[in-house]
Chains A and B, each alone.
Chain A
Amino acid sequence: MLKKTLACTIAIAALMAAGPAMADTKDKKIALSNNYAGNSWRQAMLKSWDKVTKQAVADGVVAAADPFTTSENQVTEQAAQIQNLILQGYNAIVVNAASPDALNGVIKQACDAGIVVVSFDGIVTEPCAWRIAVDFEKMGASEVEYLAKKMPEGGNLLEIRGLAGVFVDDAISKGINEEVKKNPQFKIVGSVHGDWAQEVAQKAVAGILPSLPEIKAVVTQGGDGYGAAQAFAAAGRPTPTIIMGNRQDELQWWKEQKDKNGYETMSVSIAPGVSTLAFWVAQQILDGKDVPKDLTVPFLRIDQDTLEQNLATTEKGGVANVEYSQADAQKVIAGK
């Protein structure tokens, strides 16, 4: 008798211990509040969300995962949208925010209503929300790290920057410049703004090239590598190592060069599929997991041996993408 009771107690204790870990989210609803859909990156982001969350709903992981996009990139409009999402009874709201600060009022209201708020890409500063941020500085630094390994003797660099005045441009450039300081064998001999657009980059590079000495490598921010390559070819100068930014035209050009003369470089950018990472993080929080408030998105890096595979899955005119799984999210949460 005693033995039986003991066994029962142990069994119940075991069940209770297992309980929280198995807390399920199948009746939970998650919404995506997105502030802008006007470029290829955002379109890819929404497509990824659609693909991954539809599957998750079909699998019964969550009850719903509806995307909402405001028609214009406007703070007040997005604030009103989030208030409506609160009213609609969503359990979690995943936000790509129009402003880091000006949505804090409504984000706080959502938290007070017991809703989990996860911001990504365009993150919010309200402390009650989770943030999935991109370490742009590290992304810039990784470009120089790669070059330091590839060409230990160093040389002259040309830097192509993004859109002036946007914090992303400052962050990537800062990362590049600080890493160059650590590797004095490199020297940035010129810097132009390519605005993350191939045509602009091509024009800007063509303009500065005649005044530059021999360039060993070009450090970029994405969306500008192909234009830079065109400018070097047009000027009849030897093609340096140009870091690419995961755009399809860039990967295509790289592949052609690789087949022709074994050209080597690397490509790095943020995958638009980061929206799906935010989705899984929200799901994990709803599941009762202990998740740190600040997470960092891994960036998507393409190397010589993964080029073909990534090129094959990237749409023409698109950006190399990766959709995250629940397991990926758990890895990011664990800080691996």
Chain B
Amino acid sequence: MNRRFLRQALPFLTLAVVLAATFYVQPRTMSYFGLNLMLQYAVPIALATIAQMFVITVNDLDLSIGPFVGLVSCIGATLLFDNPALGVLALLAMIAAYGAVGALIHIRNLPSIVVTLGLSFVWLGIAVLILPSPGGKSPEWLKAIMNVHVPYAPFPIIAAIVIGVVVHLALMLSSYGVIARGAGGNPKALSRAGWSMLKTKVIMYMLAGFFGVLAGLALLGLTTSGDAHVADRYTLYSIAGVILGGGEFIGGRVSPLGAVVGALTLALAGSFLIFLKISPDWQIGAQGAILIIVLALRALVSYGEQKR
């Protein structure tokens, strides 16, 4: 048995198991309508997970992605709705801000956890300033995109596949992707080879910002109105999604397809627990348990790998 293959297949196996269990508990979900409904909210989570993955690739951690997504949803529901040009400008500024954060972390050699934890309050503060109480309106085109009905396969599944494949091609197969991953895995070697670590970090952070913006807009298209606190849990979800999908905290070791699958698994696990009518007090614990089981399985596989 090829251990490496097994480890890469683990996220997909986990998703299959959770999906099968959900179908078993609630057969109604096994339909176009059911899958569409159940997986809709997984799309913004998948996008946020990809954003987190870019940061984890360069061996950092982003604790601000949840409030950032919330801020994007607030900008989308106010500026982007009232004045599209200004809204787009604001969103571009947000992406640039992410790049600046990456530069700051690299140049001053600051711990990313501390910087992004501080930023999470900044994002939340700006969001509350823009939209003091929940409200605003989603632009019509966003709603239309998120509620589009594709024949044969539900939109969330297609969206997840497209996101996963595009990012996989860019990060895992392109030559610059190799450098980006190397920047996380072995930064010294890469900078000795003449690559600018600063540039790489800024690009990766900007990509994270870009996908964070996409996540916020996707979420806004679903909720149809903004709320500063709408995505507070995304920070946790995104990190868990990357890890569930086979990523590791040592930098460079990530899997975009796995991250998307991890996000879908987390979203499905939530539904599954609701279908089982598990008390809410246990739900977070149960989600954590799924994470631990998967990590334990992975450790088991890796252990065998090393032994050989």
Contact = CB atoms under 8 A, between A and B. Distances in A.
B134 A83 contact: no
B275 interface: yes
A189 B37 CA distance: 55
A76 B134 contact: no
Contacts of A74: 229, 232-233
A85 B29 CA distance: 11
A71 B283 contact: yes
Nearest to B232: A74
Contact of B222 (A66, A99, A105): A105
Interface of B: 26, 28-29, 34, 37-38, 40-41, 133-136, 143, 219, 221-227, 229-234, 267, 270-271, 274-275, 277, 280-281, 283-284
Interface string A57-98: 000000000101111101111011101111111000000000
Contact of A88 (B28, B224, B283): B28
A105 to B, nearest CB: 4
B279 to A, nearest CB: 8
A77 B134 contact: no
Contacts of A106: 222-223
Contact of A72 (B225, B226, B233): B233
A99 B77 CA distance: 15
B275 A83 contact: no
B135 A80 contact: no
A262 interface: no
Contacts of A177: none
A101 B135 contact: yes
Contact of B40 (A71, A83, A85): A83
Nearest to B274: A84
A85 B136 CA distance: 26
B28 A102 contact: no
Contacts of B231: 76
Contacts of A66: 277
Given A71-B283, A87-B28, A101-B225, A80 B270 contact: yes
A104 B284 contact: no
B235 to A, nearest CB: 12
A72 B224 CA distance: 21
Contacts of B37: 83, 86-87, 109
Contacts of B136: 101
Report whether over half of chain B's contact residues are helix, strand or loop; otherwise say mixed: helix
B275 A88 contact: yes
A91 to B, nearest CB: 14
Given A70-B280, A74-B229, A99-B134, A104 B41 contact: no
A77 B34 CA distance: 17
A102 B226 contact: yes
Given A76-B219, A105-B223, A37 B280 contact: yes
Contacts of A89: 28
B274 A105 contact: no
A70 B278 CA distance: 11
A70 B284 CA distance: 10
B286 to A, nearest CB: 10
A76 B43 CA distance: 12
Contacts of B219: 76
Contact of A104 (B133, B225, B281): B225
Contacts of B234: 76
Given A71-B283, A87-B26, A79 B41 contact: yes
Contacts of A108: 224
Contact of B233 (A76, A88, A103): A76
A100 interface: yes
Query: A37, A75, A109: which has the most chain B beta carbons within 10 Å?
Result: A75
Interface in A93-127: 99-106, 108-109
B25 to A, nearest CB: 10
B267 A75 contact: no
Nearest to A100: B134
Nearest to B138: A105
Contacts of B222: 79, 105-106
Contacts of A86: 37
Contacts of A146: none
B34 A87 contact: yes
Contacts of A87: 26, 28-29, 34, 37-38, 271
A83 B268 CA distance: 12
A94 B28 CA distance: 21
Query: B29, B143, B283: which has the most chain A beta carbons within 10 Å?
Result: B283
A253 B281 CA distance: 35
A71 B284 contact: yes
- 9 closest A-B pairs (Cβ-Cβ)? A101-B225, A71-B280, A102-B227, A105-B224, A99-B134, A102-B223, A84-B274, A101-B134, A104-B224
A32 B81 CA distance: 33
Query: B38, B134, B267: which has the most chain A beta carbons within 10 Å?
Result: B134
10 contacts: A70-B280, A71-B281, A71-B283, A75-B230, A83-B41, A84-B38, A84-B275, A87-B38, A102-B224, A106-B222
A205 B194 CA distance: 69
A270 B100 CA distance: 50
